[in-house]
Amino acid sequence: MNKQDKSDLRSLKLHKEIAKKLRADNQLWNIPLMNIEKWKDKKSNLPYALAEWKQILLFSSKEEIYKVLEGSSQRAKQLRSSSPFTGILTDIERNKIFNT
């Protein structure tokens, strides 16, 4: 398995865990939009991937978002590489995935 494949697999595992936590706690849905707004405040232009995430978060159903978080399509992989879901997993949860 090459480096990119390993990175994609690790990202998928992280985002599956994020999806699991989102299903368990509705309040976590605020985090990605808050992250996007915080990053937007630091830059004059929002990068395309984050602008796309904002549209997805605002206008897609949760089930559609879960498909991106847990999907294997090229688009899902690309979106996960610019994920606004930072802060949902604890360091311990992240490290557990990184160390497997």
> Which pTM value belongs to this model?
0.92
Predicted confidence band at 44 (pLDDT cuts at 50, 70, 90)?
Answer: low
Instruction: Please give the tally of structural domains in the chain.
Output: 1
pLDDT reported for residue 49:
87
Q: What is the pLDDT of residues 8-31, one digit of tens each?
A: 999 999 999 999 999 999 999 999
Dist. CA 56–CA 85, nearest whole Å: 13
- The answer to whether 68 and 80 have CB atoms below 8 angstroms apart is yes
Q: Which domain holds residue 19?
A: 3-98
Q: What is the pLDDT of residues 57-92, one digit of tens each?
A: 999 999 999 999 999 999 999 999 999 999 999 999
